[in-house]
Amino acid sequence: MSGGVVKAAAWHLGVALALEELGFTLKNNESSPSDLEISTYVGSSAGSLIGLYFAQGFRPMDIIEATINKDNSKIRAINYKDMLSLKKPQGNPTSYYDPLEGFPKILKRILKPVLSLPGIFSTQGLHDYLIENVIKEKTFEELEADLFVVATQLDHSRKVIFSKYNYPNPSHDNTANYYTGIPLAESVTASMSVPPFYSPYPIKNPHTGQTDYYIDGEIRETLSTHVAFDHDCEFIISSWTHTPYHFHDEIGSLVNYGLPAICTQAIYLMIQKKIVANRARRELSADIINTVNDYLKTNKFEEKHRNQLTSILEKKLSYKPNVHMIDIFPRHEDYQLFFRNSFSLNSDKTSEMVSAGYKRTINIFKRHEWES
């Protein structure tokens, strides 16, 4: 599950609600095993929060009802007080870096107080919300489900995957590391620290004793589907909302909608490119392996040699042929979803995103789109 603040969280809930209706079960400490059990959750930012809800035993409707029927819900919904905490991590001011060097003095006086902030708000309120309302089991090891939370280390070119598994670095990225021994609340809070809206979140490294700062998990790589491959998942259902706007006559150009719409489009274009490139690499790997295999068959190579060479290619290309991937995201035709405010807790707007995610999931499974 991708990031994308409230908008993405609502979409993920709609997707999960549809999966339940289709017969899937969400594994947690109280669930019973089933043939259609989703036992692994990989999430970044808002996706890590939703994964935590599920792993802790909350069903999609529990979270949805919390925003609609607050008096009789199983859990308290997140509110703006949780989201907009002003408590910042303590830093040590330095004069080493001056982003306003050479600017006129009057601009420096105006901009310096803003640019010196590590973020507008802090995720400390979200951390406290998790401790008070969500967390039952405090560590990854206590969860029956396998939860992976992705974050980015601020002061390093390192992506960190918090979990209970100490896997080696992924073959496609030696700067990605699996970390164990970090509490659930700290891991998810770190993953949700989206700059510049939120300050980087500090976590004490149990191995070095130093404090590392973390930001949003999707800065380096969107979705991190490699985690599911590393964990030998058979089916990977990926949910995200970053579909760029495509021109529609009734809407016109985004240039007419100001900086927020233009910046959103720029971010979505970058994210979509990462996802497309990732899927293209998998398709290219499959094509290379199939082409080589066909050539060997045509030239009557022995089956054992063909199988051996295919196995070598699969390992070198990090390709697993028996994994099925199902991508669930808004279509370009659903352009109204692009304009949804990512930070809005308005129940009518979030309900629309839940409904959209639900309908899209039902349609994808009905048409078996992943098999095309």
pLDDT in tens, 274-307: 999 989 999 999 999 999 999 999 999 999 999 9
Evaluate if residue 111 carries a pLDDT over 90. Answer: no
**Which pLDDT value is given to residue 94?**
67
Confidence tier at 372 by pLDDT (50, 70, 90): very low
SS (H, E, C) the chain: CCCCHHHHHHHHHHHHHHHHHCCCEECCCCCCCCCCEECEEEEECHHHHHHHHHHCCCCHHHHHHHHHCHHHCCCCCCCHHHHCECCCCCCCCCCCCCCCCCCCHHHHHHHHHHHCCCCCEECHHHHHHHHHHHCCCCCHHHCCCEEEEEEEECCCCEEEEECCCCCCCCCCCCCEEEECCCCHHHHHHHHCCCCCCECCEEEECCCCCCEEEEEECCCCCCCCCHHHHHCCCCEEEEECCCCCCCCECCCECHHHHHHHHHHHHHHHHHHHHHHHHHHHHHHHHHHHHHHHHHHHHHCCCCHHHHHHHHHHHHHHCCCCCCCEEEEECCCCCCHHHCCCCCCCCCHHHHHHHHHHHHHHHHHHHHHCHHHC
Judged by average pLDDT, the poorest of 65-69, 124-128, 246-250, 266-270 is: 65-69
Q: Is 45 labeled as catalytic in the residue annotation? A: yes
First-residue to last-residue Cα distance in the chain:
22
Q: Is 253 labeled as catalytic in the residue annotation? A: no
Q: Which of 2, 44, 45, 238 is catalytic?
A: 45
- Model's pTM, two decimal places? 0.92
As beta bridge partners, residue 48 has: none
Average pLDDT, the chain: 92
Evaluate if residue 120 carries a pLDDT over 70. Answer: yes
- The two tokens of residue 59 are 């069903």
Confidence tier at 95 by pLDDT (50, 70, 90): low
Evaluate if residue 370 carries a pLDDT over 60. Answer: no
Share above pLDDT 90 across residues of the chain, in percent, rounded to a whole number = 78
Confidence tier at 108 by pLDDT (50, 70, 90): confident
Q: Which of 82, 146, 212, 216 is catalytic?
A: 216
**Which pLDDT value is given to residue 118?**
87
Evaluate if residue 93 carries a pLDDT over 70. Answer: no
The larger pLDDT score, comparing residue 44 to residue 86, is at 44
Q: What is the mean pLDDT of residues 199-212?
A: 90
